[in-house]
Homo-oligomer: A and B are copies of this chain.
């Protein structure tokens, strides 16, 4: 029997890796979980003078809530994580540059001998009721209203091979997907690498990151409800996402070309399985009817999202209809049993 569960992390109970951590709670396939995620800065940036390099202890950036042990999830299975609701928990979203972080600046890896980019914080007002973000410039009084589009940027399970990876990275296990897709109504599929899967999530954003190129944009704590399902004996090599309209594969790699290849390669395989079409025919179909988006190029890893309209799949249902089933779940109206 599935349950509605609630987990509120204590202040210092957040995680900074995927893998090698004890679970904070147990879930079962079919459960609905309501939880809270802290923002990218661990809540430490509250004014434009709280520069992250001083306010945040650097290895502890991007804290996630979890890990959740999912019963019956075993290596070789797939964990479906459906986002039922994602609601900002604060009225301000925080953006910032960092001294050596971003695509348009020197970094620890794009190591140059130039001085680093200026560190700067923006605070943008979030109006959940009105569904808008009030963007406010720093050098002038320019403001503009942009639609809210709350989502999570970092969701993952424990990696394979006994690795533990920081929450700033991504890979086959998920992690910092940098996608603007993980909003209410979508389902993320992740391959399970360890007994219990060990799901964690965080890094809420007030708007899907359209082309984040430096630092972090409109980070905000979130009240989030997810539904989960374990799909037994179906492997998932790279993160995949399903919405009502489309399926997409997420290529994650340090090099953008690699991320592109991985995303394309994975969507070709997935579509070929779903439709029975041959590999080259599917490639040709995706070339003409697919789309490619850039999740992030900022580093340390890049993500490329390759998408196909579900209308082209005919009657085929990915993962035996998991998305459709999970889509029926409603957000919890009252707080359920503590897990």
Contacts and interface: CB of A to CB of B under 8 A. Distances in A.
Interface in A263-312: 264-266, 268, 275-281, 283-294, 297, 302, 304, 306, 312
A210 to B, nearest CB: 5
A63 B209 CA distance: 39
Given A114-B117, A278-B138, A281-B142, A257 B256 contact: yes
A217 B284 CA distance: 7
Interface in A54-106: 59, 95, 97, 103-106
Most buried by B among A59, A109, A116, A262: A109
Contact of A254 (B210, B213, B254): B254
A49 B281 CA distance: 16
B137 A211 contact: no
Contacts of A227: none
B118 A280 contact: yes
Contacts of A211: 264, 286-287, 290-292, 306
A268 B263 CA distance: 28
Interface stretch (A6-14, A35-43, A158-166, A323-331): A158-166
Interface in A149-168: 160-166
Oligomer: number of copies: 4
A140 interface: yes
Given A104-B261, A109-B262, 14 more contacts: A59-B160, A109-B258, A109-B261, A111-B264, A112-B261, A113-B265, A113-B283, A146-B288, A162-B166, A163-B166, A211-B306, A217-B284, A253-B254, A256-B260
A217 B290 CA distance: 12
Nearest to A118: B280
Contacts of A302: 257
A103 B20 contact: no
A129 interface: no
A162 B161 contact: no
A84 to B, nearest CB: 25
A135 interface: yes
Contacts of A260: 103, 213, 256, 294, 297
Contacts of A105: 112-114
A136 B111 CA distance: 26
Contacts of A19: 20, 164
B162 A287 contact: no
Contact of A278 (B139, B163, B286, B306): B139
B268 A144 contact: no
Interface string A204-233: 000101111110011000000000000000
A34 interface: no
A189 interface: no
Nearest to A275: B142
A210 B112 contact: no
Contacts of A166: 161-163
A264 B110 contact: no
A140 B256 contact: no
Nearest to A209: B287
Contact of A292 (B210, B266, B281, B286): B210
The 6 tightest CB contacts between A and B, nearest first, are A254-B254, A139-B278, A256-B256, A111-B265, A211-B292, A164-B164
